[in-house]
Structure 1
Amino acid sequence: MKHLKYLLLFLVVACSSPKIVYDYDTQEDFTTYKTFNFFSDAGKGLNDFDIKRIESTIENTLNKQGLKLSETPDFYINYSSKELEKEEDNNVGVGIGGGNGGFGIGVSTGISLGAEKRLQQLTIDFVSAKEDQLFWQSISESLLKVKAAPEERTKHYQSLLPKVFSEFPPKKKK
């Protein structure tokens, strides 16, 4: 029973963890980038409040990495969001088993517990100001409560974005 509690905790955390993928130009010298700014039309698919939340969190996260917001940046940031279809949490399962000379069949149903959530895909692009070329990109998928309070939405982005930028700049492989 003790191990079941830890297994359930692991499954809850694993299922709610964001999935993040990266891609970048392997020939790019990331040490040349010191300043950034946002494209004026960044935030497609997001409301004005989420745009402010995301830009504030990105700025804070990149500042901690030594990068600064500038009117004449080395690179621009674009980001967009879209909702992906999410499978319903409700399901039915059938199980067959046996042991100790017995045989059994069971049917179970799963009911969604908690608030309705949507799967949000957030794409973030870094584009060189000089060459106007994409040099780094991340795509994250995370669950976001549909009726999340403003504080919950802020916490969501403050939790997600540092994870997104944990792999920026990419580490050089030897």
Structure 2
Amino acid sequence: MKNLYLLLTVILLTSCSSIRVNYDYEKTRDFTQYKTYNYFSDVNTGMSELDSKRLFKAFDDAMQSRGYTLSQTPDFLVDIKSSEFQQQRNNNVGVGVGGSGRNVGGGISIGLPIGQSQLGREIIFDFVDESNDQLFWQAVSESNYKPNASPEKREAQFIALVEKVLEGFPPKK
């Protein structure tokens, strides 16, 4: 029952929230050579320790379901960095006053913001080849961030985010 609840929450979050991901990768790289991964020893996600654990668990589960193995002797290393930002409000109401009458004109216009601004979070995933220390794949994700969300909602958000990020790995040629 708990798994069903978590699955429904993930579906709800992915349908309601907007997770945007941009990918970049080295076109000449043979991605079939990569089977094992690990994290940089000095990874600093920029998130709380609990959120970092949630993100790493979601990432490990998703990678394992795709056939990759966490290893002490990895083929590639993963670095994860994040930052929070204030999203711009795009909703405004314009109020204007104009003059009329015989060659007399004037006007005042004011844009009033509607609603509250939201927090956003950018998370960057870098995949670096262990043998030559070169970046070969990168995903930059942006999503809404609610600092007061429950642990269950945070976990579901990270699962949805990682699934969206890993849709582009390995790249389809």
Q: TM-score, normalised by structure 2?
A: 0.76
CA distance, structure 2, for counterparts of residue 145 and residue 57 of structure 1: 18
Residues 53-85 of structure 1 deviation map (CA, whole Å, 9 limit, x = unaligned): 111111111111110100110001000001123
Q: Which amino acid aligns with 2:84?
A: E
Query: Which is bigger in relative contact order (C-alpha 8 A, separation at least 6)?
Result: 2
- Partner secondary structure for residue 167 of structure 1: coil
Residue 17 and residue 67 in structure 1: after superposition, are their counterparts in 2 closer, same or farther (change >3 A)?
Answer: same
Residues 88-135 of structure 1 deviation map (CA, whole Å, 9 limit, x = unaligned): 47632459xxxxxxxxxxx9976437xx74110000000011011100
Q: Which amino acid aligns with 2:54?
A: R
Q: Does 1:50 align with 2:51?
A: yes
Runs of 4+ in 1 over 6 A off after TM superposition: 107-110
- Partner secondary structure for residue 143 of structure 1: strand
CA distance, structure 1, for counterparts of residue 140 and residue 112 of structure 2: 33
- 1:7-156 pair list within 5 angstroms: 16-88=17-89, 91-93=92-94, 111-112=114-115, 117-156=118-157
Identity across the alignment (%): 41
Q: Which runs of 5+ in 2 are unaligned?
A: 1-13, 97-109
Counterpart position of 2:104: none
Q: Which moved more, 1:124-133 or 1:41-50?
A: 41-50
Residue 22 and residue 147 in structure 1: after superposition, are their counterparts in 2 closer, same or farther (change >3 A)?
Answer: same
Q: Which amino acid aligns with 1:41?
A: D
Contact 2:93 2:114 in 1 (8 A): no
Contact 2:86 2:118 in 1 (8 A): no
Residues 24-45 of structure 1 deviation map (CA, whole Å, 9 limit, x = unaligned): 0111110000000011222331
Q: Which amino acid aligns with 2:42?
A: D
Contact 1:18 1:140 in 2 (8 A): yes
**Alpha-carbon deviation of 1:161?**
0.7
Q: TM-score, normalised by structure 1?
A: 0.76
CA distance, structure 2, for counterparts of residue 73 and residue 130 of structure 1: 9
The root-mean-square deviation of aligned C-alpha atoms, in Å, is: 2.5
CA distance, structure 2, for counterparts of residue 146 and residue 52 of structure 1: 16
CA distance, structure 1, for counterparts of residue 164 and residue 29 of structure 2: 22
Q: Which runs of 5+ in 1 are unaligned?
A: 1-12, 96-106
- Partner secondary structure for residue 53 of structure 1: helix
